[in-house]
Chain A
Protein backbone atom coordinates (compact mmCIF):
# COMPACT_ATOMS: atom_id res chain seq x y z
CA UNK A 1 0.00 0.00 0.00
CA UNK A 2 1.83 3.07 -1.24
CA UNK A 3 -0.52 5.86 -0.21
CA UNK A 4 -3.90 7.42 -0.80
CA UNK A 5 -5.19 6.82 -4.31
CA UNK A 6 -7.72 9.04 -6.07
CA UNK A 7 -9.46 8.52 -9.37
CA UNK A 8 -9.83 10.05 -11.83
CA UNK A 9 -6.97 12.55 -11.77
CA UNK A 10 -8.82 14.94 -14.03
CA UNK A 11 -12.48 15.30 -14.93
CA UNK A 12 -14.04 17.73 -17.37
CA UNK A 13 -17.81 17.79 -17.34
CA UNK A 14 -20.61 19.90 -18.69
CA UNK A 15 -22.68 21.99 -16.34
CA UNK A 16 -25.63 20.02 -15.04
CA UNK A 17 -23.98 16.61 -15.28
CA UNK A 18 -23.29 14.36 -12.30
CA UNK A 19 -19.75 13.31 -11.41
CA UNK A 20 -18.36 10.75 -8.98
CA UNK A 21 -14.85 10.58 -7.57
CA UNK A 22 -13.23 7.66 -5.78
CA UNK A 23 -10.69 7.58 -2.96
CA UNK A 24 -8.81 4.56 -1.66
CA UNK A 25 -7.17 5.41 1.67
CA UNK A 26 -4.10 3.86 3.26
CA UNK A 27 -5.40 0.49 4.39
CA UNK A 28 -4.65 0.79 8.11
CA UNK A 29 -6.09 4.32 8.36
CA UNK A 30 -9.58 4.48 9.83
CA UNK A 31 -10.34 8.12 9.12
CA UNK A 32 -11.01 9.48 5.66
CA UNK A 33 -11.51 13.12 4.75
CA UNK A 34 -12.64 15.06 1.70
CA UNK A 35 -11.44 18.60 1.07
CA UNK A 36 -11.84 21.02 -1.81
CA UNK A 37 -9.17 23.46 -2.89
CA UNK A 38 -9.41 26.35 -5.32
CA UNK A 39 -6.52 28.36 -6.73
CA UNK A 40 -4.78 30.49 -4.13
CA UNK A 41 -6.75 29.03 -1.23
CA UNK A 42 -6.06 26.43 1.39
CA UNK A 43 -7.97 23.15 1.42
CA UNK A 44 -11.55 23.61 2.59
CA UNK A 45 -13.14 20.85 4.69
CA UNK A 46 -16.09 19.01 3.14
CA UNK A 47 -16.70 15.87 5.20
CA UNK A 48 -15.04 13.03 7.04
CA UNK A 49 -15.62 9.41 8.00
CA UNK A 50 -14.45 7.18 10.78
CA UNK A 51 -14.70 3.69 9.38
CA UNK A 52 -18.07 3.70 7.56
CA UNK A 53 -19.70 6.41 9.68
CA UNK A 54 -19.88 9.94 8.27
CA UNK A 55 -19.13 12.04 11.36
CA UNK A 56 -19.32 15.55 10.03
CA UNK A 57 -20.39 17.37 6.91
CA UNK A 58 -19.54 21.01 6.23
CA UNK A 59 -22.40 23.48 6.22
CA UNK A 60 -20.84 24.79 3.04
CA UNK A 61 -21.68 21.53 1.33
CA UNK A 62 -24.93 21.80 -0.56
CA UNK A 63 -27.40 18.95 -0.97
CA UNK A 64 -25.89 18.33 -4.40
CA UNK A 65 -22.86 16.77 -2.70
CA UNK A 66 -22.94 13.33 -1.15
CA UNK A 67 -20.22 11.07 0.13
CA UNK A 68 -20.18 7.43 1.10
CA UNK A 69 -17.71 5.00 2.57
CA UNK A 70 -19.27 1.55 2.36
CA UNK A 71 -17.68 -1.03 4.63
CA UNK A 72 -15.19 1.52 5.87
CA UNK A 73 -12.85 1.04 2.92
CA UNK A 74 -12.87 3.25 -0.19
CA UNK A 75 -15.01 6.36 -0.40
CA UNK A 76 -16.91 8.09 -3.18
CA UNK A 77 -17.84 11.73 -3.52
CA UNK A 78 -20.69 12.52 -5.87
CA UNK A 79 -21.66 15.95 -7.13
CA UNK A 80 -25.05 16.17 -8.78
CA UNK A 81 -26.06 18.85 -11.28
CA UNK A 82 -22.59 20.34 -11.40
CA UNK A 83 -22.12 24.09 -11.55
CA UNK A 84 -19.14 26.12 -12.74
CA UNK A 85 -18.45 27.07 -9.13
CA UNK A 86 -17.75 23.42 -8.38
CA UNK A 87 -14.56 23.59 -10.43
CA UNK A 88 -11.75 22.84 -7.99
CA UNK A 89 -9.27 20.24 -6.86
CA UNK A 90 -10.98 17.63 -4.70
CA UNK A 91 -8.57 16.16 -2.20
CA UNK A 92 -8.97 13.00 -0.20
CA UNK A 93 -6.87 12.31 2.88
CA UNK A 94 -6.64 9.56 5.46
CA UNK A 95 -5.23 9.28 8.95
CA UNK A 96 -5.10 7.14 12.05
CA UNK A 97 -7.04 8.13 15.14
CA UNK A 98 -4.66 8.63 18.04
CA UNK A 99 -5.25 8.57 21.76
CA UNK A 100 -5.45 11.72 23.85
CA UNK A 101 -5.55 15.20 22.43
CA UNK A 102 -3.03 14.70 19.66
CA UNK A 103 -4.17 14.25 16.09
CA UNK A 104 -2.11 12.48 13.51
CA UNK A 105 -1.18 14.20 10.30
CA UNK A 106 -3.20 13.54 7.20
CA UNK A 107 -1.80 11.83 4.15
CA UNK A 108 -3.33 13.38 1.05
CA UNK A 109 -3.99 11.73 -2.26
CA UNK A 110 -3.00 13.36 -5.54
CA UNK A 111 -6.44 14.88 -5.92
CA UNK A 112 -9.06 14.99 -8.65
CA UNK A 113 -9.16 18.19 -10.63
CA UNK A 114 -12.70 18.97 -11.73
CA UNK A 115 -13.45 21.45 -14.49
CA UNK A 116 -17.09 22.28 -15.16
CA UNK A 117 -17.65 23.90 -18.56
Chain B
Protein backbone atom coordinates (compact mmCIF):
# COMPACT_ATOMS: atom_id res chain seq x y z
CA UNK B 1 0.00 0.00 0.00
CA UNK B 2 1.48 3.30 -1.09
CA UNK B 3 1.15 5.74 1.76
CA UNK B 4 1.43 9.35 2.68
CA UNK B 5 1.97 9.90 6.38
CA UNK B 6 1.40 12.93 8.54
CA UNK B 7 1.37 13.59 12.25
CA UNK B 8 -2.28 14.18 13.16
CA UNK B 9 -1.42 16.88 15.72
CA UNK B 10 -2.76 19.15 16.94
CA UNK B 11 0.18 21.43 16.28
CA UNK B 12 -0.22 24.58 18.34
CA UNK B 13 1.74 27.74 17.51
CA UNK B 14 1.36 31.31 18.75
CA UNK B 15 0.10 33.99 16.40
CA UNK B 16 2.94 35.40 14.30
CA UNK B 17 5.12 32.31 14.60
CA UNK B 18 6.20 29.92 11.85
CA UNK B 19 4.17 26.73 11.60
CA UNK B 20 6.00 23.72 10.17
CA UNK B 21 3.98 20.83 8.80
CA UNK B 22 5.61 17.63 7.65
CA UNK B 23 4.74 14.71 5.43
CA UNK B 24 6.55 11.56 4.31
CA UNK B 25 5.65 9.27 1.45
CA UNK B 26 6.50 5.70 0.57
CA UNK B 27 6.05 5.65 -3.23
CA UNK B 28 9.29 6.67 -4.94
CA UNK B 29 7.32 7.01 -8.16
CA UNK B 30 5.42 9.99 -6.77
CA UNK B 31 6.24 13.04 -8.84
CA UNK B 32 3.88 15.75 -7.66
CA UNK B 33 2.86 16.88 -4.22
CA UNK B 34 0.12 19.09 -2.96
CA UNK B 35 -0.89 20.79 0.24
CA UNK B 36 -4.56 21.33 0.93
CA UNK B 37 -6.18 23.27 3.75
CA UNK B 38 -9.46 21.98 5.14
CA UNK B 39 -11.59 23.91 7.59
CA UNK B 40 -13.93 21.91 9.80
CA UNK B 41 -16.99 20.78 7.85
CA UNK B 42 -15.64 22.14 4.56
CA UNK B 43 -13.97 20.56 1.55
CA UNK B 44 -10.19 20.70 0.94
CA UNK B 45 -8.77 23.80 -0.72
CA UNK B 46 -5.50 23.67 -2.70
CA UNK B 47 -2.86 26.01 -1.30
CA UNK B 48 0.45 24.77 -2.76
CA UNK B 49 1.83 22.35 -5.30
CA UNK B 50 5.46 21.28 -5.71
CA UNK B 51 7.08 19.07 -8.31
CA UNK B 52 10.83 19.64 -8.00
CA UNK B 53 13.32 19.25 -5.19
CA UNK B 54 13.85 22.42 -3.21
CA UNK B 55 11.65 25.23 -2.00
CA UNK B 56 8.66 26.94 -3.55
CA UNK B 57 7.30 30.11 -2.03
CA UNK B 58 3.85 31.66 -2.39
CA UNK B 59 3.11 34.53 -0.06
CA UNK B 60 3.30 33.31 3.54
CA UNK B 61 3.55 29.68 2.41
CA UNK B 62 6.70 27.75 1.48
CA UNK B 63 6.58 24.15 0.31
CA UNK B 64 9.73 22.05 0.49
CA UNK B 65 10.39 18.77 -1.31
CA UNK B 66 13.23 16.31 -0.79
CA UNK B 67 12.74 13.32 -3.07
CA UNK B 68 15.82 11.51 -1.79
CA UNK B 69 14.41 11.54 1.74
CA UNK B 70 10.80 11.20 0.51
CA UNK B 71 9.83 14.19 2.56
CA UNK B 72 7.53 17.14 1.92
CA UNK B 73 6.92 20.05 4.23
CA UNK B 74 4.87 23.22 4.41
CA UNK B 75 5.96 26.32 6.29
CA UNK B 76 3.47 29.01 7.19
CA UNK B 77 5.10 32.28 8.18
CA UNK B 78 3.40 34.88 10.37
CA UNK B 79 0.71 32.38 11.35
CA UNK B 80 -2.75 33.83 11.90
CA UNK B 81 -5.72 32.42 13.83
CA UNK B 82 -7.47 32.09 10.45
CA UNK B 83 -4.80 29.54 9.47
CA UNK B 84 -6.23 27.16 12.07
CA UNK B 85 -7.37 24.19 10.02
CA UNK B 86 -6.36 20.68 9.01
CA UNK B 87 -3.58 20.55 6.43
CA UNK B 88 -3.62 17.60 4.06
CA UNK B 89 -0.57 16.42 2.16
CA UNK B 90 -1.14 14.51 -1.09
CA UNK B 91 1.13 12.81 -3.59
CA UNK B 92 0.49 11.82 -7.19
CA UNK B 93 2.29 9.21 -9.26
CA UNK B 94 3.14 10.12 -12.81
CA UNK B 95 0.69 8.66 -15.28
CA UNK B 96 -2.18 8.13 -12.87
CA UNK B 97 -2.91 11.62 -11.55
CA UNK B 98 -4.60 9.88 -8.62
CA UNK B 99 -3.77 11.55 -5.35
CA UNK B 100 -3.02 9.65 -2.20
CA UNK B 101 -3.79 11.79 0.83
CA UNK B 102 -2.37 11.72 4.29
CA UNK B 103 -4.65 11.85 7.31
CA UNK B 104 -3.92 15.54 7.80
CA UNK B 105 -2.32 17.63 10.54
CA UNK B 106 -4.56 19.83 12.64
CA UNK B 107 -3.02 23.26 13.16
CA UNK B 108 -4.10 25.61 15.93
CA UNK B 109 -2.84 29.18 15.86
CA UNK B 110 -3.27 30.74 19.27
CA UNK B 111 -4.16 34.44 19.44
Contact = CB atoms under 8 A, between A and B. Distances in A.
* A and B pair up: yes
Interface of A: 31, 33, 35, 40-45, 48, 56, 89, 91, 95, 97, 101-111
Interface of B: 4, 6, 8, 31-32, 34, 42-46, 49, 51, 88, 90, 92, 94, 96-104
B8 A105 contact: no
B97 A43 contact: no
Contacts of B43: 89, 91, 108-111
Contact of B32 (A48, A91, A97, A102): A102
23 contacts: A33-B99, A40-B8, A40-B103, A41-B104, A42-B101, A42-B102, A43-B44, A45-B99, A45-B100, A48-B97, A56-B96, A89-B43, A101-B51, A101-B94, A102-B51, A103-B31, A103-B92, A103-B94, A104-B49, A106-B99, A107-B46, A108-B43, A108-B45
Given A43-B44, A105-B46, A48 B101 contact: no
A42 B34 contact: no
Contacts of A109: 43
Which of A35, A102, A104, A105 gathers most chain B CB within 10 Å?
A: A105
